[in-house]
Amino acid sequence: MNVLNLIRWKNLLMIALVQLLIKYAFLEPFGVETSLDGLGITLLILATISIAAAGNIINDIYDVETDLVNKPTRVIINKHISEKTAYTLFIFFNVIGVGTGFYLSHLVGRAPFFTIFVLISILLYVYATYLKGTLLVGNIVISFLVSLSIIIVGIFELIPVMTTSNQDLQTVFFKVILDYAIFAFLINLLREIAKDIEDINGDYKAGLNTLPIAIGRARSKNILTGLSLFPLMGVVFYVVSNLYKHPIAVGYFLIFIVGPLMYTSIKTFKAKTKKDMHHISVMYKIIMLFGMLSLLLYLFTLS
């Protein structure tokens, strides 16, 4: 169980779920030409979650000092799993992920796609060892990698089978996947900033230069409140522009995404304590989940 907690199995499960939803709830029901069969999507999921697991491990290795202050009861490295074992697991999951990505790239006839997995692995390591303590850069990089776990499905499913005759249709579906990736990027960025405000004490002790350390809790909270309006306005615009003819879809977005986004923005404005910021961080995780689950609407109401 300690290993599962170390690799953040719940987060990995969400990545796998989203990638499956994109294929089987969004692409397959509309008869879009795709390149991956059941084995192919399984390999893509394995490669993605393996590299993500490695990233979670290296992040925990370098976060021991901050975690001892911010969440001492949840520290795993050197308490339940030795640092040496953690490094071994880090290498193991990277080899599995990059190796699977190499095989999959050749399987779809796009060998250069292999570099995507290598770059993700490298960025996760650089994030944990250096970028995490850099003002906003770390937040942006990790949020980009979260969005890339969505985009990569479109890259492997649609691009290898794109031709002049189906290019327009393939592009339409790729753009929708990109919309979801942008949503994931924005929500994760907000969550990262909220976590930085929550964890300011441990981060300060570790010598990190996060946004709240650089400009203070109050200013960071105000910036977070302002930034929280962007995904809210974006989702409202998306619903009005694309879903107005589908009342069930409109209702879903209003109840499970727009409503929680409004609530979280208000809570952010009023937040005062570490507990408040933790609640906001959890809310963004829930919003992310419901945002990704909206892919089921294509299967049941929009197909």
Does residue 301 have a pLDDT over 80?
A: no
Return mean pLDDT, the chain: 94
According to the model, what pLDDT value does residue 69 have? 84
**In 3D, which of 176, 275, 281 has the Cα closest to residue 228?**
281
pLDDT (0 to 100) of residue 51: 98
| Plot region of 216 (φ>0 → left; ψ -120 to 50 → alpha; else → beta) | left
Mean pLDDT of 8-19: 96
Q: Are 173 and 158 in contact (CB under 8 A)?
A: yes
Position 75 confidence tier, pLDDT thresholds 50, 70, 90: confident
Mean pLDDT of the region 66-73 = 82
Kindly state the percentage of the chain with pLDDT values over 70: 99
- Sequence-separated (6 or more) residues with CB below 8 Å from residue 66: 199, 202, 203, 205, 206, 208
Residue 225 belongs to what H/E stretch?
A: helix 217-227
- Assign 298 a pLDDT band (cuts: 50, 70, 90): confident
Residue 303 has pLDDT above 70, yes or no: no
Quote the pLDDT of residue 144.
Answer: 97
What per-residue confidence (pLDDT) applies to 270?
Answer: 95
Model pLDDT, residue 219? 96
Reported as a pLDDT band with limits 50, 70 and 90, residue 168 is: very high
Give the confidence band of 242 by pLDDT, cuts at 50, 70, 90.
confident
| Overall average pLDDT of the 87-106 stretch | 97
Convert 1-40 to b/e letters by CB count within 10 Å (16 or more is b). eeeeebbbeeebebbbebbebbbebbbeeeebbbbbeeeb
Question: Are the CB atoms for 292 and 20 separated by under 8 Å?
Answer: no
Confidence bin at 250 (pLDDT 50/70/90): very high
- Which DSSP string corresponds to 212-261? HHHH-HHHHHHHHHHHTHHHHHHHHHHIIIIITT-HHHHHHHIIIIIHHH
Q: Using an 8 Å Cβ cutoff, are 114 and 46 in contact?
A: no
For 73, the token pair is 């009861």
pLDDT in the model for residue 27: 94
Contact between 22 and 178 (Cβ < 8 Å): no
Determine the Cα–Cα distance for residues 110 and 44; give it in Å rounded to an integer: 14
Mean pLDDT of 236-245: 90
Distance between CA 135 and CA 301 in Å, rounded? 43
Angle, in degrees to the nearest 10, between helices 38-62 and 137-158: 170
